[in-house]
Amino acid sequence: MIRTHDAGSLRAADAGVTVTLAGWVARRRDHGGVTFVDLRDASGLVQVVFREGAPAQAAHQLRNEYCVRVTGTVGPRPPGNENPELPTGAIEVTATALEVLSESAPLPLPVDDHIDAGDDIRLRYRYLDLRRSGPAAALRLRSAANRIARTVLDRRRFVEVETPTLTRSTPEGARDFLVPVRLQPGSWYALPQSPQLFKQLLMVAGLERYYQIARCYRDEDFRADRQPEFTQLDIEMSFVTQDDVIELTEEIVGGLWRELAGHEIQRPVPRLTWHEALARYGSDKPDLRYGVELTELTEYLRGTGFRVFETAIAAGGYVGAVVMPGGAAQTRKELDGWQDWAKARGARGLAYVVLDADTGEPRGPVAKNLPAGHLAGLADAVGAKPGDAVFFAAAGVRREAQELLGAARVEIARRTGLADPDAWTFCWIVDAPMFEPADPALGGTGWSPVHHPFTAPTAGWIDRFEEAPGEALAYAYDIVCNGNEIGGGSIRIHRADVQRRVFDLLGITPAEANDKFGFLLEAFKYGPPPHGGIALGWDRICMLLAGEDSIREVIAFPKTRGGYDPLTGAPTRITAQQRAEAGVDAKPKQEAAPGT
RNA sequence: GGUCCUGUGGAGCAGUUGGAGUGCUCGCCGCCCUGUCAAGGCGGAGGUCGCGGGUUCAAGUCCCGUCAGGACCGCCA
């Protein structure tokens, strides 16, 4: 090493030691006769003092982010000049030699913890952005998270296995990223949406305990918590029950929050059934930092004559409500704003009743449409107090109305500041349905898998899920933190007969199944063990631990919303020669027969 | 595919009722300065107000389109 010490490590005990440091000029304070330079390296900052001689002359020429090597003597700062804000604030290094290792051009982006630039400029100069303490800490935190997970898994004798990133297109789920294959023009690899099928093959292979910090790819639109390439901590285990996977996951998540957030998670983490979560919170990933639970009013509001409610009830649907504490104090404009909010989500509107703060009397347009009898008991029915507002949703499809109320619940919490930003709440969502009605808009008929088609039905449903597909439950489980789904998994089907029945219900013929998953079904002929696993959303988990609002903050080189990387300029056009070689335009000679 | 927010010297912002490219903080260049720590003082340079069109005597400001960044809905087994 060309240095003897880390700048951020120096303390009062080092006084008198001659050190050589190497790093960057974080800031220069030039007083003419004396110059202070904050020297930053990966370990932190230390103040270097230039007082006389050639080094002091040269120090006048230093500029921010010059890369320098300094030799000097550590000494206590003069009394009264200590800086308690800095870990190294008790001492300073008096320079005896200065070497400029490289100069820096004027910065396009200030390397300064106090200023936050726009995303495009930060990403274009990400290497400068990462010199700042916040972004640098986020990457170090992520590294620590990897270490913590690996330690737990290694202790339990898991095997880390890498699976292909050039693989076969999967027929369902998200859109695949495709890669042309030069050696077979007209044929394409897909980048994996997850290592799902490979990890099941590894169970057939007898590894019993597999994990991988796996890069996954999905060609869908982005969000603050979604990038086209993202990372899962992917885990699969043989001879386990749902409880075993949950226990392991709690061990990992518990370790992460203990070490990286200083928070001890209460275990076991509470479990909610999927139906309970929808009924109480209108979401399969409820934020439990606050109450504001939903109330079903389908029975209570029967026979009001109010068209919106009557139609939903007559269709065998759902009417429910959620209470906004203090919501009666909203202006007419704010209440109208809720209608726009609901319409933006595809709903017709959001009916509401406000309860007079003094008298508790129900008011508002909907109140005029409800019979006095129904109005009188409304506050008690929904648990509202005078001064509150009650929002209603009604739909022929239960989940639709519940999810609108669930979204309203989150919005109420946001507008009234109900969510404690320092709180951590976790829960498992278990007993998810196996199937949901296929979306006709996507050309579907019959049933679609809620999770994926290899998810095992629960013991109670394994022999009769065909009797009521919409009610059948699966051994599927999601772990949720503060309203974010941070992981999900399932016990898989390992019996050929059960798998065939699931495919039958999904309308997948044996020929189609063979075409799509033939290699997996083939493998399952040879004594597949019962198995199950989970995938943890690693970017989201690191984002939460870092206290950030976007997974971009915990990815070294993220892309913008348009899939563009301002740093490298990717994606780019390709040359005619590349295009010809890649075989992008090749036409398949003959349609391959199914099963080949 | 849809809704919304943002775009003003290198960075972050302000810019009123449409009235001169006006202003603030930082950075940059020059000079001064021996205890600062987001140092300070004096002086200076730096602008296609994202781009295109329209309305107007006059547009950073109003209208339409477009591009870029962001948030959300759809989508994401």
CA of residue A63 to C1' of nucleotide B20, angstroms: 38
A535: the nucleotide nearest its CA (via C1') is B77
Q: How far apart are CA A143 and CA A169, in angstroms?
A: 31
A545-587 pLDDT, tens digit each: 999 999 999 999 999 998 999 999 999 889 999 999 998 888 7
Assess whether pLDDT exceeds 50 at residue A123. yes
Closest CA relative to residue A325, chosen from A351, A300, A290, A371: A290
Query: A146-160, A231-245, A302-316: which has the minimum mean pLDDT?
Result: A302-316
Assess whether pLDDT exceeds 90 at residue A173. no
A231-262 pLDDT, tens digit each: 999 999 999 999 999 999 999 999 999 999 99
Helix, strand, coil percentages (3-state) for chain A, rounded to 5, are 30, 25, 45
Is the distance from CB of A132 to CB of A112 less than 8 angstroms?
yes
DSSP structural state of residue A253:
H
Q: How far apart are CA A347 and CA A406, in angstroms?
A: 13
Residues 6 or more apart whose Cβ sits within 8 Å of residue A496: A521, A524, A525
Assess whether pLDDT exceeds 60 at residue A591. no
Return the amino acid letter for A21.
Answer: L
**What pLDDT is attached to residue A586?**
86
**What pLDDT is attached to residue A595?**
44
User: Closest protein residue to B2 using CA and C1' atoms?
Assistant: A344
**What pLDDT is attached to residue A443?**
58
User: Closest protein residue to B3 using CA and C1' atoms?
Assistant: A344
Q: pLDDT band at residue A344, thresholds of 50, 70 and 90?
A: confident
CA of residue A54 to C1' of nucleotide B27, angstroms: 27
**What pLDDT is attached to residue A305?**
87
Is the distance from CB of A69 to CB of A75 less than 8 angstroms?
no
**What pLDDT is attached to residue A592?**
52
Assess whether pLDDT exceeds 70 at residue A440. no
A119: the nucleotide nearest its CA (via C1') is B69
CA of residue A86 to C1' of nucleotide B5, angstroms: 38
A37: the nucleotide nearest its CA (via C1') is B37
Q: How far apart are CA A109 and CA A124, in angstroms?
A: 10
Read off the pLDDT of each residue in A100-128 and give the average, rounded to a whole number: 91
Q: How far apart are CA A319 and CA A395, in angstroms?
A: 7
Three-class DSSP category at A27: strand
Is the distance from CB of A358 to CB of A367 less than 8 angstroms?
no
Read off the pLDDT of each residue in A207-229 and give the average, rounded to a whole number: 95
A36: the nucleotide nearest its CA (via C1') is B36
Read off the pLDDT of each residue in A314-335 and give the average, rounded to a whole number: 90
Assess whether pLDDT exceeds 50 at residue A31. yes
A346: the nucleotide nearest its CA (via C1') is B73
CA of residue A461 to C1' of nucleotide B1, angstroms: 39
CA of residue A70 to C1' of nucleotide B35, angstroms: 20
Q: How far apart are CA A387 and CA A328, in angstroms?
A: 5
CA of residue A346 to C1' of nucleotide B53, angstroms: 34
A194: the nucleotide nearest its CA (via C1') is B77
Please give the structure tokens belonging to residue A324: 């906004």
Which pTM was predicted?
Answer: 0.94
What is the ipTM score, two decimals? 0.92
CA of residue A450 to C1' of nucleotide B77, angstroms: 7
A255-286 pLDDT, tens digit each: 999 999 999 999 999 999 999 999 999 999 99
A450: the nucleotide nearest its CA (via C1') is B77
User: Closest protein residue to B73 using CA and C1' atoms?
Assistant: A345
- How do beta strands A362-363 and A35-41 pair? unpaired
- ∠ Cα A276 A280 A283 (to 5°): 80
Q: How far apart are CA A22 and CA A580, in angstroms?
A: 49
CA of residue A222 to C1' of nucleotide B10, angstroms: 30
The pairs formed by A49-56 with CB atoms below 8 angstroms and a separation of 24 or more are A49/A92, A49/A93, A49/A94, A49/A95, A50/A95, A50/A98, A51/A94, A51/A95, A53/A96, A54/A98, A55/A95, A55/A96, A55/A97, A55/A98, A56/A95
User: Closest protein residue to B31 using CA and C1' atoms?
Assistant: A32
- How do beta strands A426-430 and A271-273 pair? parallel
Q: Which nucleotides of B are covered by protein (CB under 7 A)?
A: 1-3, 10-13, 26-29, 32-40, 68-77
CA of residue A431 to C1' of nucleotide B58, angstroms: 68
**What pLDDT is attached to residue A254?**
98
Read off the pLDDT of each residue in A57-78 and give the average, rounded to a whole number: 96
Closest CA relative to residue A477, chosen from A433, A540, A435, A432: A432
Q: End-to-end CA distance of chain A: give it in Å, rounded.
A: 58
**What pLDDT is attached to residue A438?**
80
Q: What is the DSSP string of A307-374?
A: HHHHHHHHTT-EEEEEEETTGGGS-HHHHHHHHHHHHHTT-S--EEEEE-TTT--EESHHHHHS-HHH
A366-386 pLDDT, tens digit each: 898 899 989 999 999 999 999
Mean pLDDT of chain A: 93
Q: What percent of chain A has pLDDT over 90?
A: 80
HSE, CB side, 13 Å, CA atoms: give it for residue A302.
8
Residues 6 or more apart whose Cβ sits within 8 Å of residue A578: none
CA of residue A29 to C1' of nucleotide B40, angstroms: 10
The neighbour count for residue A89, using CB atoms within 10 Å, is 17
Assess whether pLDDT exceeds 60 at residue A308. yes
CA of residue A134 to C1' of nucleotide B4, angstroms: 29
Read off the pLDDT of each residue in A181-209 and give the average, rounded to a whole number: 95
A218: the nucleotide nearest its CA (via C1') is B76
CA of residue A142 to C1' of nucleotide B7, angstroms: 33
HSE, CB side, 13 Å, CA atoms: give it for residue A232.
25
CA of residue A109 to C1' of nucleotide B22, angstroms: 25
Is the distance from CB of A35 to CB of A50 less than 8 angstroms?
yes
A226: the nucleotide nearest its CA (via C1') is B76
A107: the nucleotide nearest its CA (via C1') is B10
User: Closest protein residue to B37 using CA and C1' atoms?
Assistant: A83
CA of residue A338 to C1' of nucleotide B63, angstroms: 28
CA of residue A28 to C1' of nucleotide B39, angstroms: 9
User: Closest protein residue to B34 using CA and C1' atoms?
Assistant: A33
In three-state form (DSSP H/G/I as H, E/B as E, the rest C), the secondary structure along A259-276 is HHHCCCCCCCCCEEEHHH
A345: the nucleotide nearest its CA (via C1') is B73
CA A21 to chain centroid: 39
A403: the nucleotide nearest its CA (via C1') is B73
CA of residue A244 to C1' of nucleotide B74, angstroms: 37
A68-109 pLDDT, tens digit each: 999 999 999 999 999 999 999 999 999 999 999 999 999 999
Q: How far apart are CA A46 and CA A66, in angstroms?
A: 15
Is the distance from CB of A325 to CB of A388 less than 8 angstroms?
yes
A410: the nucleotide nearest its CA (via C1') is B72
Is the distance from CB of A433 to CB of A472 less than 8 angstroms?
yes
CA of residue A460 to C1' of nucleotide B58, angstroms: 78
User: Closest protein residue to B41 using CA and C1' atoms?
Assistant: A31
